[in-house]
């Protein structure tokens, strides 16, 4: 329970940094020692299969521990998010969101961020939406492409 409060606090801090659909993590710095502490507590709970973590499937546990290890490797030797590049900040944010979603069993409400190029520019912007919003956007685009191919009044030669 205490570990989840750390996750929630870290995610809240990141969420404040990443409001609405567009965000930049550069405006606020998070201390990575807090994230390391929370992840250690979560790892202990997952490995012991106690508390919130007792209902996780073996595949969820394995994936959580793998993603967690990759994230911890990314932040290794760093003290704050200011020392991370934009791609690393996005990866850490997405991993923390994913971990919270798995622990709370609400994967569709988790935030997922992407770095996308700005049209007519060489810079990139961060776009954050829920997993549900990304899925709905993909489905709408797919449906639009499928419907454009049919023509009821077309005459063939």
User: What pLDDT, on a 0 to 100 scale, did the predictor assign at position 5?
Assistant: 46
- Neighbouring CB atoms inside 10 A of 100's CB total 20
The distance in angstroms from the start CA to the end CA of the chain is 70
Average pLDDT, the chain: 77
- Distances from the Cα of 117 to the Cα of 3, 76, 122, 126, 133, angstroms: 36, 28, 7, 9, 19
Question: Whole-model pTM?
Answer: 0.59
Confidence of residue 92 (pLDDT cuts 50, 70, 90): very high
Write out the E strands in 18-79. Answer: 22-23
pLDDT at residue 14 above 60? no
User: What pLDDT, on a 0 to 100 scale, did the predictor assign at position 88?
Assistant: 92
pLDDT > 90 fraction of the chain, expressed in percent and rounded = 26
* pLDDT tens track for 15-53: 434 433 334 444 456 789 889 999 999 999 999 988 888
pLDDT at residue 156 above 60? no
Mean pLDDT score, 95-118? 81
**What residue has token string 């961060």?**
126
Could you give the CA distance from residue 136 to residue 99 in angstroms, rounded to a whole number?
22
The number of residues in the chain equals: 157
**Beta carbons of 126 and 113 less than 8 angstroms apart:** yes
Structure tokens at 69: 């290890």
* pLDDT tens track for 46-79: 999 888 888 888 888 899 999 999 999 999 999 8
Mean pLDDT score, 10-16? 44
Strand partners, 22: 127
- Neighbouring CB atoms inside 10 A of 122's CB total 6
**95: closest CA among 117, 132, 65?**
65
Could you give the CA distance from residue 34 to residue 64 in angstroms, rounded to a whole number?
18
């Amino acid at each position: 329970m205490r570990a989840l409060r750390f996750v929630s606090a870290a995610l809240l801090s990141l969420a404040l940094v990443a409001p609405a659909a567009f965000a930049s993590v550069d405006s606020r710095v998070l201390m990575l020692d807090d994230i390391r502490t929370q992840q250690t507590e979560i790892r202990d709970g997952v490995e012991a299969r106690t508390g919130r973590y007792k209902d996780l499937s073996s595949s969820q546990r394995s994936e959580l521990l793998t993603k967690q290890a990759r994230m911890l490797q990314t932040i290794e030797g760093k003290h704050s998010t200011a020392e991370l590049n934009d791609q690393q900040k996005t990866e850490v944010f997405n991993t923390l969101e994913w971990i919270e979603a798995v622990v709370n069993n609400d994967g569709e409400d988790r935030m997922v961020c992407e770095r996308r190029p700005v049209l007519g520019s060489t810079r990139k912007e961060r776009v954050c939406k829920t997993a549900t919003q990304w899925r709905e956007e993909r489905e709408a685009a797919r449906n639009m492409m499928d419907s454009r191919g049919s023509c009821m009044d077309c005459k063939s030669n």
